[in-house]
Amino acid sequence: VFDEVCETTGVTLTRFMIEVAMLNPELSELPSLFSGIETACKAISNMVKRSQLTGDIGYAEGGGSINVQGEEQKTLDIMTNDVLKRALRFTGKLGVLASEEEDTPVDVEPTGKEVMFDETSKYVAVFDPLDGSSNVDAGIPTGTIFGIFDHDEECVVNDKDEGLTEAEMVCLTNTLKPGTDLIASGYCLYSSSCFFVMTVGCGVYGFTLDESIGEFVLTHPNIKIPETSKIYSFNEANLPQWDEPMRETVEKWRIGEGKSGNSFSSRYIGSMVGDVHRTLLYGGVFGYPSDKKNVNGKLRLLYEGAPMSYLMEQAGGLSTTGTKRVMEILPDEVHQRVPIVMGSKQDVQEVVDAYSAAGF
């Protein structure tokens, strides 16, 4: 389906999405949604790059602003969340927004009024507006992660003054879908270049922002992650707390006694979008596994784990908790965490086999 679109690079993201929609009529509304996301990411790229000059650095309200995660919000966390919501609001295609920076899923109408749902909306968006933001003041790469679900049509709830009805609570949890229900996901990496990487279920396509024309241009058609690798990417300070199968596998990789016989190097920047992008292109295993302190790891299922797992699987990789496929996990609540080990198929399978052999 995509071959005719991708025989040459140089295609802009806008043209790519229009041609995808022409080839897949059921995706006809995606180009305008992606246009909103793309515009927001260009704006965020600028904000991140200029933050040292504009003073949009440090913690919001001098450190007094705490998000639903209990984390101190950076100034840019709040600004980028607003930029993304505003850009998505005016596509008129959005049903519900769930964001790392929002307390509960909210909906927006073009009027800007925050309502729970409206029947005109086609999609549900989940996103982490600036993942890795704690690194931004040090110039370390950060990124935006997004996932798009189809909106559940019969889920119509209007704005009410009083509390939510039973049906509305069902709608509110409408954003709580497993990754297998995603129809699109992607990220924008703010680094040496601004990279926009996405999937709509037919492979993974990478675009690079050409600032001279203000367009994302196709530079990585049909990304496929190497089957095996020599890189693992974890916060090794937690290694003593990991489940034994995870710990033992990484210790074998270190000394070249893993299945591949490769001696691995460690690469970890503590910013998921950068670590995942390198893993997709160079191969490797990235993760934040379960440990004694954080049984569910640290990464969020809905707007970090699931969208990135969709990309990883579409690129021919795997993404597991150690015992379960991340894409199949139904979230119980919006900000649920999930243990994640993702990357090169053969190496991640080695982790799965170790967990299975240990009876997990």
CB closer to ligand P6P out of 131 and 350: 131
Token pair 């916060």: residue: 235
Continuous segment of H or E residues that includes residue 338? none
Nearer to ligand P6P (CB atom), residue 151 or residue 298: 298
Structure tokens that stand for 52 in this block = 């040292």
In angstroms, what is the minimal distance from the CB of 92 to ligand P6P?
31
Tokens found for residue 120: 């005109």
Q: What character string, x for contact with ligand P6P (CB under 6 A) and - otherwise, covers 286-325?
A: ------------x---------------------------
- Cβ within 8 Å of residue 162, ≥6 positions away: none
Does residue 74 belong to the site contacting ligand P6P (CB under 6 A)? no
Touching ligand P6P, residues 115-154 (CB under 6 A):
131-132, 134
| Residue among 278, 307, 295 nearest 178 (CA) | 307
Q: Shortest gap between Cβ of 103 and ligand P6P (angstroms)?
A: 18
Q: Smallest distance from the beta carbon of 338 to ligand P6P, in angstroms?
A: 12
Which parts of the chain are beta strand (E)? Answer: 94-99, 107-108, 114-115, 123-131, 142-150, 182-190, 194-199, 204-210, 215-220, 231-233, 265-266, 285-288, 318-320, 340-343
Q: How far is CA 188 from CA 16, 56, 165, 247, 311, in A?
A: 16, 20, 37, 31, 13
Q: Is 235 in the site for ligand P6P (CB under 6 A)?
A: yes
Q: Binding segment for ligand P6P among 108-116, 188-196, 264-272, 329-337 (CB under 6 A)?
A: 264-272
Minimum CB distance to ligand P6P smaller for 98 or for 172: 98
Terminus-to-terminus CA distance in the chain, angstroms?
Answer: 40
Query: Contact with ligand P6P (CB under 6 A): which of 246, 272, 311, 342?
Result: 272
Q: Can you read off the two tokens belonging to residue 320? A: 């597991």
Backbone angles phi, psi at 125, to 5 degrees: -115, 140
Quick one: which of 80, 199, 271, 321 contacts ligand P6P (CB under 6 A)? 271
The DSSP annotation for 83-142 comes to HHHHHHHTTS-EEEEEETTSSS-BEE-TT--EES--TT--EEEEEEEEETGGGGGGT--E
**Minimal distance in Å, beta carbon 146 to ligand P6P?**
15
In the block, tokens 């990464």 appear at 299
Q: Which residues within the stretch 175-204 sit at the binding site for ligand P6P (CB under 6 A)?
A: none
Is residue 206 near ligand P6P by the rule CB under 6 A? Answer: no
Smallest distance, ligand P6P to C-beta of residue 269, A: 8
- To ligand P6P, the closest distance from the beta carbon of 35 in angstroms equals 26
Q: Which is nearer to ligand P6P, 158 or 235 (CB)?
A: 235
Size of the residue set binding ligand P6P (CB under 6 A): 9
Closest CA to 242 of 346, 131, 134, 340: 340
Please select the residue that binds ligand P6P; options are 270, 295, 333, 356, rule is CB under 6 A: 270
Q: Footprint of ligand P6P on this chain (CB under 6 A)?
A: 131-132, 134, 235, 270-272, 275, 298
